[in-house]
């Protein structure tokens, strides 16, 4: 059983109403599986399933198919960033 810190940024944090969530569960799992699990656990969790939601695993950019392995300390989710 692992304890994983999950953090949310910007409008995603506002939509979920929380900045951080500690998930206790079994790893490994993909980012996509983690999003689905969190979508079921959190109020307004479906916001994690919106197109373009970005993620990182221990501060490294990650894609939906990337694995969250045992020993991972943090996964972050954030909306797409636009520049100007």
Rounded Cα–Cα distance for residues 43 and 52 (Å):
20
Rounded to the nearest integer, the mean pLDDT of the chain is: 93
Domain topology for 2-78: Ubiquitin-like (UB roll) (3.10.20)
Domain range list for the chain: 2-78
> Is residue 75 very low, low, confident or very high in pLDDT (cuts 50, 70, 90)?
very high
Q: What is the mean pLDDT of residues 12-20?
A: 96
Q: What pLDDT is recorded for position 25?
A: 85
**Calpha distance 60→64 (Å, rounded):** 13
Reply yes or no on whether the pLDDT at 82 is more than 80.
no
Model pLDDT, residue 83:
53
pTM for the model stands at 0.92
């Amino acid at each position: 059983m692992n304890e994983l810190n999950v953090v949310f940024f910007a409008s995603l944090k506002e939509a979920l109403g929380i900045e951080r969530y500690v998930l206790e569960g079994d790893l490994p799992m993909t980012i996509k599986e983690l999003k689905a699990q969190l979508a079921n656990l959190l109020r307004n969790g479906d916001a994690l399933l919106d197109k373009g939601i970005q993620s990182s695993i221990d501060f490294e950019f990650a894609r939906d198919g990337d694995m969250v392995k045992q020993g991972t300390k943090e996964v972050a989710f954030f909306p797409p960033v636009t520049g100007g």
